[in-house]
Every structure is written in structure tokens, then in C-alpha cells.
Structure 1
Amino acid sequence: MHTPPRTRHGGDLVVESLTALGATTVFGLPGQHALGAFDALRRSGLAYVGLRVENNAGFAADAFARVTGSVAPLLVSTGPGALMTLAALQEAAAASAPVLAVGSQVPTAGLGGGRKGYLHELTDQQASFRDVVKSVHTVRAVSQIPSALAAAWASALEAPAGPVWLEIPQDVLLAPVSVPPVTTLRAEPRPLPPRPELITHTAELLRDAERPVILAGGGVVRSGAQEELRALAERLDAPVATTFGGKGAFPWDHPLSLQSWLEDRHTTDFLEDADVLLVVGSGLGELSSNYHTFRPRGRLVQIEADLGKLEANHPGLGIHADARAALSGLVDAVPARPAGTAAKGAAQLLARVRERIDGQGLELEQRVLAAVREALPDDSPSFWDMTILAYWAWSAFDPRAGALHSAQGAGGLGYGFPAALGAATADRTRPVLAVSGDGGAMYSIAELATARQHDLPVTWLIVDDGGYGILRTYMTDAFGEAAGTELARPDFVALAASFGVPAVRTTSARLAEDLSAALAAPGPSVVVLPAQLRMFAPTHLAGQG
């Protein structure tokens, strides 16, 4: 008996187009209006990683995009499912992570009015995303699907990279198609080279500078410009500080490294004293400018792919360009100078910073962070939630050959664990570390099921201090007493075990040993550290110790 060929539908065009564009993995969560796409996904060669909450699926896609440098598709349904991704997409936007969020829509007959009575109907779903993502794309007919996906893909990758939103109505996903399968799609982002005259002028400024300093941001890491940055710093004999988002842009223990102590007035003074400060891949936002207390006294040159960030906080010579292209041009244009006193100045600055930190009685915090560094393999990435230990890591953690990722761009809770799952999906050959507080952990506790289902090599360190530790500190300092910060929480070890995930309760003395064992074991694991950690005292104002 002859079986007639199966009729393809709009969902097949979605999956075929993503495959043709180079996708390998899709994150998401199904819903009624998106079932046409999920049916096609089931029959495709794409890997699917389904998380338990759409926001966590967005965090996983964000991390996958960060570690691979490629577009990460995120497939969700309409209304509540779509809206649940907004916090994750805000973080992806802040971190310039190219997430392609594909959401379904109510049938085309229900679009625009908001009163048709369809399940999950919104008057204008796209409007919820326009202030969050780079671009919004719509499909209203099957034939539009491949081109719309190609345009969204290119937009996500084009510097500055970032998340995009594309929506397709339910009836379009289910509509039959007779065109041949999609096999070829072009979605090449436009390059963003610097203007040659600006590179020439900057090279002259740096050549003549007596105290050049470089501040490297996340744009250096995203463009893969670490070698170019190092070459330029060594040619100039210029010290390099990295922003929290730029950790890993420059070797931590290099003689010219100022590391990442940006919440320290000694570092702020050092940057202000440069006669030419080259800022690469940073918008000099709140955290990178020591809470907007930074006041450069010399000439500032800013290389930035995001046009809106050029001179947004400080006047200077703005160069709208990809970091790697601009740094490469400067390496070729700047004459080498002999080594001078820059390395000595960098060492003196770090000594002053360490003296200040060591005078605050924070041995426990430094011991815990050192234990994490000891346990984590050099090439393993780590993903940090908004928790006190992460605040320490921003300034004090050496990422080595791995990379440190956090939610400090948008600052939402719950990032660490689902992001680590996304990174582990991209590379299962090395362990991945997630770090959360007990408050942030509750945002993503359901993803223990995802970790177990996909057997992902993620170790989750939960620092349990019984509440929102950072907010407790902020409120106590500001008002003398905290409110709304104390939390009932589960027995995390027993809860992890109920998901079939091995877990252990540790101490600061055993942390390195227990964390090393967990990271070395296959599959997911949880390490719980009951501890009340404190933040080091920031120094925003001149003259503060």
C-alpha cells in the first residue's frame, strides 16, 4: 500500500530555515499556538532543549549565544509564554547576546483588535518587545517565513549583536506548503569597520601620550579581540583595566593588567589620571564608571559598536566600529615604544587595592572565592547570578581560559543556573559552574528537572544566607533595618536529590574539595554552602579609604 507523502506546513519552513541559517540547537517551551513549529522541530535534525519556564529558556539561549558566538533560537508560544521571556531578552540585550526569539501568535483573524476572545490574545504583542530587543519582525503569510527569519538572523548578529523578536500566527504555522524544502539562506551581517582617518588620529594621540591607559569592555570579548588588545597594550606599554563585562579581555596576571577593581577609588583615580584613555567596547555605564563618579582629566577615545553609547556619558573622540577591527587597525598604526614604568604603576595600584580590601576583615569571602577558583578547571565557563559572591567575582575573580558571565547587564535574578545549562548544551566535554544565592536559586529551581533530563554537566553552587543578601545589606546600610529580604527556603540538598541530582552540603573549609568532586563527576550536581558573606566597602568618592 502506497503512503502518500506527508504535507509540509509553515512550521516546516521555520525549522528548515533555521537549519539553513546554521542553527544546531533550539531552546524553548511549547504552547498551543506554537504546536505547528514544535511538530516540525520533532521531525528535524535540530537538537531541542526544553526548559520549564520561558524566562529560563531565554537565559539558556543567551548563554548558548555567548559561548558559541552564534545565533541561539528561542521558540515560545503566545501571550503569557511570550511575555515571560522579556526579562531574559533584556539581559541578552544588555550583554549583546544574539538570541532569535520566535513566538507564535493568535490566528491572523484575531490580530489587531484585542477583542476577538482568542486564548492568550494581546492587543499588540509586538509592542511589548520593541523597547527590549534590537528589532521586531512579523510574518503574515507562509511565503514570508524564510526571508523574515534570514532578516532576523542577520539583525541579531550585526554589531552590536543582540536579541530579536519574530512572531508567526498559529494558522500560518499550520498552513500547508508545496514549495521545495529550504536549503539555502543568506544572512550575513554587515561589517562595522572604523573610519581610517579616526584610526590615524587615535594612533597619533596614543603615540604622543605620556600616560596612556586602556579600559576594555565586553565588546572586546564578543568580537574575539583579545590578541589585538594585548598586542596594542604591549606596543604602547599601556596598563589595561577590564570592566565586569569585559573580564577575560586581557590576561589577569599580565604585568600591565589592572584587573577589574572598578568599584575602587584607587582604580578610578588611575583611569582619570591617564592623558589618553582608550575605552574599547564599553559604554562607560554605571558599574564601569564607579557609579558615575569617574571624571577623566585627559583625552578620552571611545571605540563602541553601539552607536547610541558613543559619548553617551563622557565627551571624547567616538569611533563607531567593531572592537576587533578598530584594535587591529591601531596595532598596525601605532609605533612600538620601549617598556617604561607602566608595569610598576600597575603593580603599585593593585597593591593599594589589596591593602584596602585586606583591612576590612573579609577573610571568609576571599577564602570562598579562592576555593571556587581552585576547584574550577581553567577552561570551564562560569555563570553567576546576582548574589554577593558574584559581586566579589566581578572585581576579584580570574576567569583564566574560561569565561565569567553574569546578569550584571540588566541585573535580573535567576540567571546563573539556566544560563549554565545553555552553555553546557553547547559543549558537553567540560563542566560548567553556576553560582546563585538561595533567593536567586528559587527563580530557577525547576530547571533541576531540565539538568537531569538532558544529563548536562553543570554544577550549581548555592550560597545559602537565608534571604536576599545584597538587598539586606543595601537596606540595612541605608535605613538601619531591612524589610522583605528574609526568606523561608527548602532543604536544597534534599530537593536536588528528589530530582535525581546528586547534592552535598559543604563548609568554607571543604568547599574546594567538594566543588572539585562535583565538577569532576558526570551530569548535574548541586553544592550548598550555608554562609553569610559580606561585600567589601566600595569607594565611590575621592579621599575615601
Structure 2
Amino acid sequence: MTHARTGGDLVVESLIALGARTAFGIPGQHALGLFDALRRRPELRLVSSRVENNAAFAADGHARATGEVTPLLVSTGPGALLTLASLQESRAASVPVLGISSQIPSAGLGGARRGFLHELPDQQASFAGVVKSTHVVRHASQIPSAIAAAWRDAATAPAGPAWVEIPQDVLLGPAGVPPVTALDAEPAPLAPRPELIEEAARLLSSARRPVILAGGGVSRSGGRAALVELAERLQAPVATTFGGKDAFPWEHPLSLQSWLEDRHLTDYLERADVLAVVGSGLGELSSNYHTFAPTGRLIQVEADLGKLEANHAALGVHADAGLALTALAGRVRPRAADPAVFAEVAQVKARVAERLAGQDLDREHRVVAAVRAALPDDAPSFWDMTILGYWAWSAWDPRNAGMHSAQGAGGLGFGLPAAIGAAAGHDGPVLAVSGDGGAMYSIAELAALRQHDLDVTWLIVDDGGYGILREYMTDAFGQATHTELARPDFVALARSFGVEATLSSVETLEADLAAALARPGPSVVVLPALLRMFAPTHLG
């Protein structure tokens, strides 16, 4: 029997025509026409989750690891709304996720309250303040163009999530148009204006102490090589934000690394007579909690127009970071290698190390070192909002792979589902890191991990509660409240899902983690440890 093509087929055909090969999501009643269409087109693989917010985190992780627009497929109402917190992270971190949701039947749209299952007065409005753009389809013939427009929005710098809604009856009804074979959703490049590049190059070339702060926009735009070229031509030291940790080689003699919460590094950045901030909005974390006060001239290259000069006056260059860095590298006046600059950089890092050495943090240093030693250089890592993750923001050497965390919006539960998404597009092991509090947000995804047999090792640091909140509350109020948690035996629970699990210790962590990462397929390593944060220095 010949299958009659439907609106659901048009969705899948459009995604394949745009280049998608992996999608994430969970079926629901209104979306059945879409998920049935996936059955007929196996070239678009679906990696299913157990909770919609985790499906959205998985799409986010896949997009970060591959640099590709990644589809997220969910159903109406409760299913769609559960993705909002995850899409907030994607928006804050400029991650190109394409959300496609079903909707109630067309007859219920437009304000009528007809009592359909999952009905909302205005589902689209719920997403308008979170994603870059929303698109509502009314007829099957609109599907390819709506998906292409949303795809282009997601991919256009600054990247971010876009949202498409399609009513149930349109997904189930006849396609009405021929099969989709080609769609164009190529984003227009956000190139810098020439006069701005000329002025920025003049300022940097004439600077006595040029310094660069590189953000996540450098990594996302493929600007790493151009950044190295620019830094070496200028002999300019480079610090990286937490979101741009792989933007510059960690051990390069010009690398100031990422100790942005340390006053020694903040002071050094402030003293630059010309500071080029590339691919960062200088938000709370990148500005040492808004205490950063530059004394010299600031140049800011930023793709997000709303972030340009939002926190500091600057020569604002609205552009993709990679394109701007390439243009600048070709225009600045080169300088000879300067051992004095290398010595300055080394001195800043030595002062940071000296301050940390006086805080009795040997256990924390050992744990970070053990994880770094166990993880292959080309294996990406995904960190939840946990004390070890906060350490990694500053102390982690990303080497040849990305280090990703939920510090864009700061929501819990990111680590495991994002690693699942990355593993679906990566050949080799992927590391997820969570605390016991964050782990409980995504514990159900052990089932997805096992079902899809993905090569993810999940490190759970079990300190018996919300460790970072415990520290914050103790510092602020003298004691913590409601931060201590009952939790399962994580090893036994993982094994009940058929996932290999190991109870580790600080002394055996490197070996246990290395063994888990070397073993194909999913695994869990549980580290019972009470870790402490280093003392903040943003107060001077």
C-alpha cells in the first residue's frame, strides 16, 4: 500500500534537505504525525530522552559539539513548556537549536478556548522571550519555508534557538506539495565594517600594552587560528572567558588562561592601554561580577547587537568574531617576540597560583588534575552547575576539545543530557560531570544512555547536597538551610539500568575514570567528596 505523504513527512523532508542527520525529542499525542514520519526516513536518526528539558539539553550538547543546527522535536503544552529552561541556556550561550513543536488542532488557534488537551491561550508567547524567533504554521505548504527560516535564524550570528509550531491536523493531513529536495537556509555572514577594522587595528598597533579577552564567540565562529595569529603579531597576552576556554591554547606563552574571578588577572586586564574584548558581552562572570573597571581604551567585537557596549563604553564592532579576527590579523602592525611580555604573563599566573596555594585546597587541585589526566585530549566534556564545574571554569585546560557548561543561564541538570547529545555526534568518549543535586535532575536519562548505547562517562561528585548553595548560604548567613539532600545509591541505581558503575575515591579517581572512559558505552563513576571553592577575590 502506498503511503500518502503528510505534513509530518514535510517536516522530516525539510530537515533532511537542510542537512540534519540527528534529532532529539519525545513523542506526544499531538506530534504523532511527525514521529510517524521519522519511521519512514531512517536517515534522520532520533535520539529520544525521558524528559523534554533533557531532550532540549541533548540538542544543545549536540549543537555545541558539532557546530550544527540541531532539531528538537516535542509535543504541545506540557512537553513544549518543559523545554523552556534548557532553551534559555541555549539562548544565553548562543547555541543553534531548532525546536519544532506540535500544536492543538488549527480550529483552536487564534484565541478560541475550545478545551483541547494541552491547550494554552498562546503557546507561542511562552517562547517569544526565550528564543530568537517563533514561527507558527497554518497550512502544510508553509512547513518547508517556516523550517528553513527558523534554521537560518538559529544559525545566524549570534546563533541561538528558534521555534516552530505546527498544528496536529496539519501534521496528520495531506502534504499537498511534492517531496522537499532542496532548501536554502544559509545565514548571511556578519562581517565587520571596514572603517571599524581600520580604527581597531590602528588602536592595537599603537598600543603600548595591548591585551585580548576572548569569549565564546571566538570558539563558535571558528576564530581560534585567527586569534592566535593576531595575538602573536601584536605580542598581546590573551585571557579567555569561561565560555571561550578553548579559544586560545592553554599553555601558549601569551596565555593568561581563565582565572577571571581572581583579582590578579582582573587588575592586569584593567591596566591594558588597549583591551580587545572579542566574542564576549562582558557579563557578570566575565567581568569578575561587574567589578572590572578598564582604565584604557576598550574595543568590543560582538555579534549580539544588544550586548555591544551594554556594560562598558568601547569602540563597538558589530561582527562575527572569527571574521573580525581574520580582518584584524591582516591589518595590525607586527611586533617581534618580546620575552618581557612572556614574563609578565607568567608572573600573573604565578600570583594566582600563590594565592590558591595559601587556601588549603590540595584535595580540589588533586581532583581537577585527576579528571584532566584521565580524559583523552580530544574528548569533549560537559559540566553541570557544581563545585567541580566552577573549578573547571577557571582551572580546566581544554586541550583539543571543547569544555562546555551551563554557565550561560545557570540551570541544573545540564551535564548528562548535553553529553548524550554530544556523544550522538562524536566518535569517542564524552565526559559528563555533575554533583549529586544536579544529577537528580537528569537521572532518568540513564535509561536513554543505555537504550542508545552512547559512549558517555558520567562523573557524579556526591557531597550530600547542593554544595555550592551550601557554601553561598554559609558565607552569607552563617549557616545553610535546605541544602542537604537524601539521595540514592548512585552506583546501585546505575547498575539497575544496566550501566557499568564504580564507587571511586580521591586517591583512585584518575584510574577509575580512565578505565571507565576507555570502556566503550555508558558508565558512571561516583566520587564521594566534599569539595570547597577557592576564595573569591572580586571584592578587591
Q: Partner of 2:30 in structure 1?
A: 33
One-letter code aligned to 2:166? I
Task: Give how far 1:416 is off.
Answer: 0.2
The residue type paired with residue 531 of structure 2 is L
Q: Which residue of 2 aligns with 1:131?
A: 129
Deviations 1:179-231 (A, max 9, x none): 22100111111110000011011111011100000000000000010000000
Give the AA of the match of 2:67: G
Correspondence for 2:13: 16
Per-residue displacement from partner, 1:220-243 (whole Å, max 9, x unpaired)? Answer: 000010000000000000000000
1:106 aligned onto 2:110: no
CA offset digits 1:310-352 (Å, max 9, x no partner)? 0000001000000111011111101111122211100000000
- Describe how 1:372-383 pairs up with structure 2 within 5 A: 372-383=371-382
Partner-residue secondary structure (3-state), 2:416: helix
Residues in 2 aligned to 1:71 and 1:143: alpha-carbon distance in whole angstroms: 22
TM-score (norm. length: structure 2): 0.99
**Superimposed CA distance per residue, residues 15-49 of structure 1 (whole angstroms, 9 cap, x where no aligned partner):** 00000011001100000000000000111121010
Q: Is 1:441–2:442 an aligned residue pair?
A: no
Q: Distance in 2 between matches of 1:324 and 1:499?
A: 43
Displacement of 1:111 after TM fit?
Answer: 1.2
Asked if the contact 2:361–2:532 (Cα under 8 Å) also holds between the matched residues in 1, the reply is yes
CA deviations 1:356-413 (Å, max 9, x no partner) are 0010000000000000000000000000000000000000010100110000000000
Match of 2:210 in 1: 212
Are 1:272 and 1:296, in contact at CA under 8 Å, matched by a contact in 2? yes
Aligned AA (2:510): A
Shift of 1:279: 0.2
Q: Which residues in structure 2 correspond to 1:351-390 (within 5 Å)?
A: 351-390=350-389
| C-alpha distance in structure 2 between counterparts of 1:360 and 1:237, whole Å | 33
The separation in 2 between residues aligned to 1:53 and 1:6, in whole angstroms, is 31
Q: Is the 8 A contact 2:141 2:176 kept in 1?
A: no
Tell me which amino acid in the other structure corresponds to 2:486.
A
2:419 maps to what in 1?
A: 420
Q: Report the CA distance between 1:177 and its aligned residue.
A: 2.4
1:286 to 276, 284, 287: 284
For residue 112 of structure 1, report the CA deviation from its aligned partner: 2.8
**Which 4+ residue blocks in structure 1 deviate beyond 6 angstroms?**
none
> 1:481: how far off?
1.0
Of 151, 154, 178, the match for 1:153 = 151
Which of 170, 180, 200 in structure 1 is aligned with 2:178? 180
Q: Which amino acid aligns with 2:373?
A: E
Please name the residue that 2:390 is paired with.
Answer: 391
Q: Give the deviation of 1:178 after TM superposition.
A: 3.8
Distance 1:392 1:67 in 2: 21
State the distance in 1 between where 2:152 and 2:177 align: 24
Q: Please name the residue that 1:78 is paired with.
A: 76
Contact 1:455 1:524 in 2 (8 A): yes
Once the two structures are superposed, what CA deviation does each residue of 1:159-187 show, in whole Å capped at 9, x if it has no partner?
00000110000000011124221001111
Q: Is 1:266 aligned with 2:261?
A: no
Tell me the SS of whatever aligns to 2:123: coil
Cα distance per residue 1:267-292 (max 9 Å; x no partner): 00000000000000000000000000
Q: Give the counterpart letter for 1:200 in structure 2.
A: E
Unaligned runs of 5+ in 1: none
Rounded Cα–Cα distance in structure 1 between residues aligned with 2:398 and 2:216: 14
Q: How many residues align?
A: 538
SS at match of 1:312: coil
Deviations 1:442-475 (A, max 9, x none): 0000000001000000000000000000000000
Letter in 2 for 1:254: H
Q: Secondary structure at the match of 1:137?
A: strand
Q: Bigger CA drift: 332-341 or 210-219?
A: 332-341
Aligned partner of 1:262: which letter?
L
CA distance in 1, matches of 2:175, 2:435: 49
Partners of 1:114 and 1:455 in 2: how far apart?
Answer: 45
In 1, the alpha carbon distance for the partners of 2:208 and 2:442 equals: 50
User: Secondary structure at the residue paired with 2:479?
Assistant: coil
TM-score relative to the length of structure 1: 0.98
CA contact (8 A) 1:114 1:122 kept: no
Paired position in structure 2 for 1:302: 300
SS at match of 1:333: coil
Where 1:460 maps in the other structure, the secondary structure is strand
Q: CA deviation at 1:114?
A: 5.3
Q: Distance in 1 between matches of 2:109 and 2:389?
A: 43
Contact 2:215 2:247 in 1 (8 A): yes
1:169 matched to 2:167 = yes
Amino acid at match of 2:225: E
Residue identity opposite 1:51 in structure 2? S
Structure 1 CA distance, aligned partners of 2:488 and 2:53? Answer: 22
CA distance in 2, matches of 1:205, 1:70: 35
Preserved contact between residue 28 and residue 58 of structure 1 (Cα < 8 Å): yes
SS of the residue aligned with 1:155?
helix
- Contact 1:91-1:410 within 8 A present in 2 as well: yes
Q: 1:482 aligns with which of 477, 480, 487?
A: 480
Q: CA RMSD in A?
A: 0.7
User: Does the CA-based 8 Å contact 1:462-1:529 persist in structure 2?
Assistant: yes
Question: 2:222 is matched with which residue?
Answer: 224
In the alignment, residue 41 of structure 1 is paired with which amino acid?
A: L
The answer to whether the Cα contact below 8 Å between 1:20 and 1:182 also exists between their aligned partners in 2 is yes
> Take 1:273 and 1:178, find their aligned partners in 2: how far apart are those partners?
64
Does the CA contact (< 8 Å) of 1:383 and 1:404 recur in 2?
Answer: yes
| Percent of matched pairs sharing the same residue | 72
Q: Secondary structure at the match of 2:166?
A: strand
Q: 2 CA distance for matches of 1:312 and 1:328?
A: 24
Amino acid paired to 1:454? H
Q: SS at the partner of 2:135?
A: strand
- The one-letter amino acid of 1:409's match is G
Question: How far does residue 113 in structure 1 lie from its aligned partner after superposition?
Answer: 2.7
Query: Counterpart in 1 of 2:343?
Result: 344
> What amino acid sits opposite 1:508 in the alignment?
V
Quote the residue 1:491 is aligned against. 489
Q: Using the alignment, how far apart are the partners of 2:438 and 2:110 within structure 1?
A: 37
Q: Is the CA contact (8 Å cut-off) linking 1:114 and 1:121 kept in structure 2?
A: no
Partner of 1:400: 399
